[in-house]
Every structure is written in C-alpha cells, then in structure tokens.
C-alpha cells in the first residue's frame, strides 16, 4: 500500500508541479477521479491517497478545509481474488508431487490459510507441540495454526529451508513479492487459474462448509471483525439450506 501510494503521489507531482495545498479544490480531486474512471480501482486509490494527504494537511494546520470531503468513490463490483476449487488443488498436486518446492508452498498455503506474507515467514521456530504460533504481518493478530497431516507429510518430504518452510532454490527465505510471481508461474504450469490468495479463500470456504463458526474463522484466519467470516458462513448456510429445500422438493415429486 505504501509503495502504491508513493507511486501515485509521484505521478500527481509530475502532472501538477508545485501547487500550494490551499490552491487545491474539491473540483480538482473530482477531475483526478474522472480522469481515472476507466480504471475504477485506480480512481478509488487516488481518492484514498488524496484523502489521507489532505486530512494530514488539515491536522497539521496547512489547511482549514479538506478538499476531498464529500468526494465519492466509483462503485465497483468484484469477488476479489479467484478462489481455488478442490479440482484445482488436485491438478496442482498432480503436476507438483511431494518433494518439490511448489508442492511445499501449496500445502503451507492450503493447510494454514495464511496470507502469502505470513506463509513465507512460517518455519520450524514457530512450531511447538504441533501448533504454529505467529503474528499476522498485516494486522498484528496472533495466530494459532495446527500442523495438519497433509502439511506434516509435505514437511517430511521437503525441500524446506532452515528458517522457513517455503524457500527459494538456494534454500533461503523468499520475499512475498517474488514468491507471488514464482507461485503464479507454478499455477500456470499446472493449468490452474488461481493465485496464492485464492487458496486462502478455498481454505475459508472449506472450514465454513464443514460447519465452522464465524468466531472459528476469525481465530484461524486472523480477521479482526466478523465481516469477512460472515461472508463464508452465510454462503455455506445458503448452500445447506438450498440442498435441504431441494430434498423437500424431490420428496414431493
């Protein structure tokens, strides 16, 4: 996020030059949003960045009023990262057997539900009595993750690094950015359309489908509110109710 906002601010400076804070009006922010209308997420990121900047400016008494006040976001509709399916997992496993770095990465991601930034940090130093404990990089929430049998089997076959289970070809830890690119290429080789975050979504779906509660999902995946866990439990409940309703329909035919 920091890099993204730095890049955006750099482009704004290139285009606008040395414009005083007090010369910026609401219509200028709206114009910036409209120029980016073809890419709604970029437009909304522009508003978020400008809002953070000018709220700071008001707090620091460079301005009396925030020119981003009342500027609305462009409505977007997306399901986010593409979730994996069970078939995707089996296709990936068939392409990358136990004993490959790619398989190790898959089992870590799927069996822990970690974000990639936490998955690449996970190592034996975090595990005690069969449970891994670490703080989520994004939220600071402490996570408690049992080492499930599928992951334990992958760890037995390796390869793994001295400090992290997921490692580069040289056995050293990977940074999340290079890991994301490398894992995406492994997915393409296995003819799987998803990415590392899609495995987190599959893991959450599987927990919800098997009766996991919102609180259980929050604890395992490190969500700080019930908003995200509710999405998965709500979908699981809808699926169960739909099947139950269909069975009632079948019984009357």
- Cβ neighbors of 66 (< 8 A, separation 6 or more) are 51, 54, 55, 57, 58
What the block records as the tokens of 99 is 């004993």
Q: Of all helices (H) and strands (E), which one includes residue 225?
A: none
Cβ proximity of 166 and 179 under 8 Å: yes
46-98: per-residue pLDDT in tens?
999 999 999 999 999 999 999 999 999 988 765 557 789 999 999 999 999 99
4-42: per-residue pLDDT in tens?
889 989 988 888 878 888 899 999 999 999 999 888 888
What the block records as the tokens of 107 is 């089992």
How many other C-beta atoms lie within 10 A of the C-beta of residue 204? 24
192-242: per-residue pLDDT in tens?
998 888 999 999 999 998 899 999 999 999 988 888 888 888 888 888 888
- DSSP-derived letter for residue 144 is E
pTM of the model: 0.69
């Amino acid at each position: 996020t920091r890099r993204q906002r730095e890049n955006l601010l750099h482009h704004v400076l290139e285009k606008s030059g040395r414009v005083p804070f007090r010369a910026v009006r609401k219509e200028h922010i709206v114009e910036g949003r409209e120029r980016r209308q073809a890419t709604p997420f970029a437009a909304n990121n522009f508003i978020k960045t400008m809002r953070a900047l000018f709220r700071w400016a008001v707090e620091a008494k460079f301005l009396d009023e925030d020119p981003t006040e009342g500027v609305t976001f462009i409505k977007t509709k997306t399901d986010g990262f593409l979730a994996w399916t069970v078939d995707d997992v089996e296709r990936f496993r068939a392409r990358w057997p136990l004993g490959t770095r790619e398989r190790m990465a898959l089992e870590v991601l799927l069996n822990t539900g970690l974000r990639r930034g936490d998955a690449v940090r996970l190592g034996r130093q975090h595990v005690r009595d069969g449970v891994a404990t670490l703080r989520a990089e994004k939220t600071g929430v402490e996570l408690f993750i049992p080492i499930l049998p599928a992951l334990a089997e992958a760890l037995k076959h390796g390869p793994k690094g001295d400090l992290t289970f997921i490692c580069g070809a040289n056995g050293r830890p990977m940074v999340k950015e290079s890991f994301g690119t490398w894992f995406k290429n492994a997915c393409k080789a296995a003819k799987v359309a998803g990415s590392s975050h899609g495995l987190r979504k599959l893991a959450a779906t599987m927990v919800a489908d098997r009766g996991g509660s919102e609180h259980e999902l929050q604890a395992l995946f490190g969500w700080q509110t019930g908003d995200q866990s509710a999405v998965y439990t709500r979908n699981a409940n809808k699926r169960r109710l739909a099947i139950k309703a269909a069975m009632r329909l079948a019984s009357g035919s």
